[in-house]
Structure 1
Amino acid sequence: MTRVTAEQLATARGCVLGLMLGDAVGVTGGHLPAEGLLRATSAGQLACFTIEGIIRADVRGTHKGICHPPSVVWHAYTRWASVQGIPGIKRWREEDWPDGWLAQVPALSVHRGSAPATVSALQVQAVLDPDKDRVWTSVGAHGLTRTLPAGLVEWWHPEPGRFAAELAATTHGPEAVDAAAMGATMISAVAKGHGVEESVERTQRECQSFLRMLTGRPFAEAVQAAREHPRDPEALTRLVPDGRALSALAGAVYVALSFPDRGQLHDALLFAASAPHGRHAAATVGALLGARHGVNALPVGLVSRLELAWVADVLARDLLAEFVR
């Protein structure tokens, strides 16, 4: 049996908890309440179901010998929509559905902001058909944030970027799909111990062969801004002018490069969240820096207030148990 190393565990926990923490901090606009729970939004909720779906896909592949992972993750999203009480979602069976332990977590059934592209796709396409390519048009950031955990599974899928793209393409358009591919590839690179700037370079090189919309060097402006004007609110606002997936990823790159030290994660999250459209950038930078520095770099005072801390920690541990062990 291959054992999970302490480094792998710290990386996976840091990434997933960092994502959830960034999601919860992002919605505050950088103005954290002095006390009380830091609550997840629909982005964090969907990321939880992504991880559960990835685990289930591997279990199915192992036991059945055949599996289409995006379909299994799609099924996980229908469970999220069901516990949210969203109408027009296919029931997969009459009794004991939605199944799985996440369906029993009260915080995941509370409506916390919309995910319109994901919901519309789930309502329109009751069952994901891998033989029929349906092209969606949304450029929204949910296509990025919910697929970031795919970057942790390179030992299972040799190209996590392609895998994340497949997951994003079930609900989002080509630009968001490309952003998802690059986001997961960056997570994979920092998880291997590469610095953020090196990870950006590797990501642009490794993804170039299959990106559909983002050609050239899409993060050149973010990297240059971090070198010349780090921690500049105006620069961040220019990089994140809207709620697109690409904007969230560019903003996260800028923030991660502006706050490179492990002791700066708290400040990085607040800075990302302070931008008018920064909440998804905060979730993304939380995942990036959490994977880069490990779980012990996350601010304990904030993690202790995180509504989904236990859920995120269990999911990260389960993911490693499934794929490494």
Structure 2
Amino acid sequence: MTSSPSPLSRIHGCLAGGAAAEGVVLARTPDAREFMVPGEFGPREEDDGAIRLGAAGQLSLYTADALLEVLEWANAGVYADQSACVWLAFLRWARGQGIPLPSSAPPVPERWIDGQPAARRALPARPDWASSLAGGEMGTPARPLGTAFDDGAAAARSAPFGLVVGTPAEAVAAMAADGASLTHGHASAVHAAVAVALAVREIAEGSGVREATATTREGLPGARGAAPDVIAAVDAALDGVPLSEGSAAARTLHEALAASLAAEAAAASGAVLPEAFSAAIRRTAEAGPDAAAIAGALLGVHWGIDAVPALWRVRLDGEDIAVGLSTALAAASGAD
């Protein structure tokens, strides 16, 4: 039986695990089958060796930085609006991606993360949903932006919302819904993000993946009227059956949960944690990098940073950012 990871290890595992998982799958698309041979999953020799951050990896780090900013203000005795801090963090990300922001957008003073090359490195292709940020207006659950976007990108960046131990489930759900509504206003995308954040919260508090998933399922109907296909996705993952239909966000969530649950079962049967971790990401590969990012974050917070394959961590372009943010977030939240 493995020992319980420290809070710092869980935070680091979540951030680095999600980013690395997304990165290794992004490096292999569009044909994920070419790297499905066990033992050969990871950076290819013909690559430069680096695992690049994708949109989910970058924005997960920016989400963590926004939460860090809120905690820093709170520790100084000053209230800071969490939703606004996340929005401003996303605008800083957008600016780093070269996305023009209108004059109506608020000023976005730089923070430490903005000076880190990996966090600002331009993506190969700008996601369609980046248009939600380009307008310079803040989306909210009451007036969400990007209502046509039903993919899993918002869920793939939402894990950090559940990392601050002691935060009530209702607050975690609200933060995830607020964060998703900045770019993905489709109900399924919002509630998939809520599901990920709630699962991370439960795992960070000490639950296993299955227990956390079941608890998340119980809380979803009260999470602002959860979309039926998201509830069906969680049910199907718990039951070990395919998801017959649903939005892209629901399918992404289902694949990520199914892979994470299978990895937990494999570890319980004696599998070495980094091997179980990489097998889970291999399983999500054909579902896409968003599913991989979610599974990597869930297993990273469950098992801690040591479960993320060492080669992936060494080659992760942005591991230094994950280390810095994890250390600061653990200290600011009193979890170090």
TM class by shorter-chain length? Answer: 0.7 to 0.9
| Partner of residue 317, structure 2 | 307
* Residue 59 (structure 1) shift: 2.5
For the residues of structure 1 that align with 2:99 and 2:119, how far apart are their CA atoms?
Answer: 13
| Partner of residue 39, structure 2 | none
Amino acid corresponding to residue 15 of structure 2 in structure 1: V
Q: Which runs of 5+ in 2 are unaligned?
A: 36-41, 268-272
String of CA shifts for 1:192-250, please: whole Å, max 9, x gaps: 22222211110011232124342455422223236xxxxxxxx5xx67997x3222211
| Partner of residue 230, structure 1 | none
1:122 corresponds to which of 133, 152, 155: 133
Q: Is the 8 A contact 1:82 1:89 kept in 2?
A: no
Structure 1 outlier segments of 4+, above 6 Å: 129-132, 238-242
TM-score (norm 2): 0.82
* Residue 21 (structure 1) shift: 1.0
String of CA shifts for 1:92-129, please: whole Å, max 9, x gaps: 45xxx651121111222222133322x222222x2438
For the residues of structure 2 that align with 1:83 and 1:108, how far apart are their CA atoms?
Answer: 8
For residue 155 of structure 2, give the secondary structure of its aligned residue in structure 1: helix
For the residues of structure 2 that align with 1:133 and 1:61, how far apart are their CA atoms?
Answer: 27
Q: Check 1:290–1:98 CA distance in 2 against 1; reply closer, same or farther (3 A cut).
A: same
Tell me which moved more, 56-65 or 182-191: 56-65
Q: Does 1:212 align with 2:222?
A: no
Q: Is the 8 A contact 1:151 1:187 kept in 2?
A: yes
| Partner of residue 49, structure 1 | 62
String of CA shifts for 1:19-55, please: whole Å, max 9, x gaps: 1111111212453413611111111111111111111
| Partner of residue 111, structure 2 | 100
Matches within 5 A, 1:173-212: 173=185, 174-212=187-225
- Looking at both structures, which has the greater relative contact order when contacts are Cα pairs under 8 Å and sequence separation is at least 6? 1
| Partner of residue 321, structure 1 | 331
Amino acid corresponding to residue 178 of structure 2 in structure 1: E
Tell me which moved more, 126-135 or 5-14: 126-135
For the residues of structure 1 that align with 2:14 and 2:141, how far apart are their CA atoms?
Answer: 33
Q: Check 1:170–1:154 CA distance in 2 against 1; reply closer, same or farther (3 A cut).
A: farther
Q: Is the 8 A contact 1:222 1:239 kept in 2?
A: no
| Partner of residue 232, structure 1 | none
Identity of aligned residues (%): 25
| Partner of residue 146, structure 1 | 157
String of CA shifts for 1:46-75, please: whole Å, max 9, x gaps: 111111111112323444633221111100
For the residues of structure 1 that align with 2:141 and 2:295, how far apart are their CA atoms?
Answer: 35
Q: Which runs of 5+ in 1 are unaligned?
A: 227-234
| Partner of residue 163, structure 1 | 175
How many corresponding residue pairs? Answer: 303
String of CA shifts for 1:239-279, please: whole Å, max 9, x gaps: 7997x322221111111122221341111112211x1x321
CA RMSD in angstroms comes to: 2.6
